[in-house]
Each structure stands twice: as structure tokens, then as C-alpha cells.
Amino acid sequence: MARRYADNHPGTLCLDVDVLIGQVDGWREDFSAAFLVATARGLALAKSHLHDGQDVVVPQLVTIFDQGNPFEAAAAEAGARFVEVALLADIDEHNRRLREKKPAFDVEASIQSGLETSDLMMRIRGHLAEYLHGRPDTIRLDTTGLTIDPTYVRLMNLLAT
């Protein structure tokens, strides 16, 4: 959805932190350290882009922030509107999509492998539910049973409100 949004809104930065993680040497050995470096670099890119008056889309599931959402703070600092969207699906749909997904790059493949071989996905779903409980302004879009096109149309309608 983020890539499609950016493709349809010229000048939008589609900032996938997972792509940046793969640019940090040693990410396979210490994913957490690489995640912190990539997030800091991504935040700097987002701030710069927002200060230039452009949109930033961060297609990232991060449900734990020790001291608030840094991307939300960056938007506020730049005087930009912050919109958080949670694309949701029921567990069966989630599992089906995970099985059918073809990873686009090494970090994505590593994450997907971890989700398929552990209870990690269920823990993440639990963290997301807990996170969303404390985020009443987050737009929730149930994508269960939807393909990309109708999901995108629904997303655009929600963003227009």
C-alpha cells in the first residue's frame, strides 16, 4: 500500500526501514543493532523530506516505542500532519498472505522466515492489539478478503475524511 501511495503521489518518500537495515553491515548477526541504526537514519531522511514540505510514508510495523513515536514527533516538528494506518486481517488471511508472499530483499526474507517458524507472528499480533488500544486516532482498515485494488480505494477514502 505504501509503495502504491507513493507512486500515486509524486514527491512522496516511501521509507521502508527494513530496506535500510539491509544496508547496515552486520545486520544478520545483530538485527536489533542494525534496526536502531536504520531507524535513526530513516528518521533523519523523514525529517529532511517533511521539512521540504513533502509526504513520507513509512510501511513499518513498530508497536513498541519507549518514548513515543519518533516519526510522529518528526511530523509535528515539521508542521506536517501525522497519519497512522493499521492494515489488519484475520489470522487465517494473515497466515495465507504470509505463505504466499515472495520476499523482495534479504531482510524481508529473514523476517518472513522467522515468522513462519515460530510463534513470533502471534506475539506481534498481540503487541499490535495492545499498541492500537492506546492509539485511538490510528486508522484501522480491515483488509480481510480484499485484494490490493479495493484495499487501496478504501485507504484513499479513509484518508480523505
Q: Give tens-digit pLDDT for 8-52.
A: 999 999 999 999 999 999 999 999 999 999 999 999 999 999 999
Q: Which of 85-89, 100-104, 152-156 has the lowest mean pLDDT?
A: 100-104
Nearest CA-CA partner of 59 in 91, 107, 100: 107
Number of domains in the chain: 1
CATH of the domain at 101: 3.40.50.300
Phi-psi region of 160 (alpha: psi -120 to 50; beta: other; left: phi over 0): alpha
Residue-number span of the structural domain to which 8 is assigned: 2-160
pLDDT on residue 101? 85
What's the average model confidence in pLDDT over 126-136? 91
pLDDT score recorded for residue 117: 66
Task: Please provide the DSSP assignment of 89-143 as one string.
Answer: --HHHHHHHHHH---SSHHHHHHHHHHHTSSHHHHHHHHHHHHHHT-TTSEEEE-
Stretch 90-114: mean pLDDT: 88
> Quick check: 66 pLDDT over 70?
no
Residue 88 near residue 141 (C-beta atoms within 8 A): yes
Residue type, 103: P
Rounded CA-CA distance 56/11 in Å is 9
pLDDT class of 123 with cuts at 50, 70, 90: confident
pLDDT for position 67? 67
Going by C-beta distance under 8 Å and a sequence separation of 6 or more, which residues neighbour residue 75?
50, 56, 81, 82
Confidence of residue 118 (pLDDT cuts 50, 70, 90): low
What rounded mean pLDDT belongs to the chain? 92
| Residue 35 near residue 22 (C-beta atoms within 8 A) | no
Confidence at residue 68, expressed as pLDDT on a 0 to 100 scale: 75
Give me the pLDDT at residue 4, please.
96
Grid cell of 123 as nine digits: 506475539
Count, in order, helices (H) and strands (E) of the chain.
Answer: 8, 4
